[in-house]
Structure 1
Amino acid sequence: MDVLDGRSVRDVPHESGGGPVTPPRIGTVMWPMQSWPDAGELWRRAEDLGFRHAWVYDHIAWRGTTPWYDAYTTLAAAAAVTSRVRIGTLVTSPNFRHPVPTAHAIKTIDHISGGRLAIGIGSGGTRRASDAGVLGGDDWTPSERASRFAEWVGLLDRLLRQPETTFEGTHYTAREVVLEPGCVQRPRVPFVIAGNGPRGMRLAARHGAGWVTSGRPDGGTAQETVRSRLGALDAACEAEGRTIGDRILLTGFSGEPWLDSAGAFDDLAGRYAELGITEIVLHWPRPGTPFDADMKVFEAVAATYGEPGGAR
């Protein structure tokens, strides 16, 4: 199952070294910083521009940014004021969420949205200015963080698939949890897994309908990094006997000039499509930050790569 349910993509021609390639679909990260109804207008605008998906970061706070509203409450409200664009977290994590109430919220939003929800999941960051330390307690070691991530994803998967779940793990417990009638999407809401290491790749291959990376370079260029990670993902999928159709690139962290111009976007989109990226996510321009961009360029990209008449 693909996150976008196999929907068709508009044929946008562009030149690349390997000849014509299927253009990527586009989404946007929405900043949960405005109160309603102003925030609702932005979500409707994202849909009208034709973005296939619109996402929100799931943190209690993010790099000291204020105000910062709750992701799941925001998605519920966004689901109620849109009708076509897919929505989701990018990403939610075990940092401050237990799988049981998280599953309950996911099921509810899936019903409110009419089955348009996808859940991006990651192991969570370690910045105490975000949400890693706001609940107090000891910092998790890398090994514990990875172990919690794996257990969290596995339990969430069971909770959303089964009519009743009892589970006793190392980190999380669930006792006779009933989530009937379940999700609108079957067998459950699709997961988009963020994982660049071997354990994260295995989780993505086992549970993911999609995989997401920021493309932040780790030694080489961003494109070399993504090529290597896609190769590792393919190997993990082969080992699990599964495929992942949606390979998502979250832009804004690699230093590449995605929104310097429409031409710059075309060039980069073509290069990443050749590597196997199927979805590109842009941040909604945010003045005075590294995520600022010319709104005219942002809208021009949406007009070219989005769906005519809005997402559907």
Structure 2
Amino acid sequence: MSFRLRAARPDDLEPLYEMAKLTGGGFTNLPADRKALARKLERAEAAYARDENTLADEQFVLVLEKPETGEVRGTCQMMTQVGQQWPFYSYRLNTLTQHSEELQRTVRAEMLSLVTDLEGSSEVGGLFLHPNERAGGLGLLLARSRYLFIAMHRARFADRILAELRGIIDERGGSPFWDGVAGRFFGMNFQEADYFNAINGNQFIADLMPKHPVYVAMLSDSARSAIGVPHPSGRAAMRMLEEEGFACEGYVDIFDGGPTMTARTDNVRSIRDARPSIVVSTDCRKGQKVLLASGRLSAFHSCYGACEAVDGGLSIDSGSADMLDVQPGDTVWTVQR
């Protein structure tokens, strides 16, 4: 059975809520809270409805759908400009070098500094695929469809883009990093803080988080070992981001210490290599397998399909044409699978 990505609608609330309950915590962009998810869908609906092709503080939500049944089995999100409603905090890992002439000794101390360096960047996140569908390249379809959407609406996204990966969560649902750093100041455990952040935003971090750098050497072994390390379930996502051109630049999440990866938007491979073409025919049978997308804003669809270059444009397979709702004369965007 084939799958496609489409714009999320308010009536996708229940399937998103059911998937959110499967995340296991530490997944701020997909909280298991109906009211918070409804607000996300309302915000996405407003973003899809805004026709001006300019950068603003918006959030787009896509869902993975079985067209034959309408069943939703995955989701992903794009935030166009983070840090506009409230500060976008990160820890940045840096090194302070000090030298004593009397001791003839140089000491290098790693520190975590609370920063808002990434404010104004776009963000890709909220990617979740139902556990029963984690095969056949659907995770890649979810991830890379976001980049095709950005390429097709480039003026609505910033010149820098980031992706936050969930950090280490123990078998009890706790975070060694949170326990070793911020948890000492907030009087709440990781699950409570993560849930509060997902529902209410992170202004409480600004209110209570100490502003002085944290010396890594003073943390527990478990907290130190979690800095910049993705959750085991996120390692494949990290490799996909690296293949797209994202890199770790020392930024980590303030809650669980997971890595924040960044890139220049126009250097992301699936954005840089995306190309629009005119559909000439829909009877391709032996073409190259690619990722295809069509439509603007709420009419956006993407899927895997086959295409081949012909005079004046592309020939695509009939199944993809049906899922994308295109016919000869329409425009599709492609990027190699």
The TM-score, its normalising length taken from structure 2, stands at 0.29
The TM-score, its normalising length taken from structure 1, stands at 0.31
Larger radius of gyration: 2
Which structure is higher in strand share?
Answer: 2
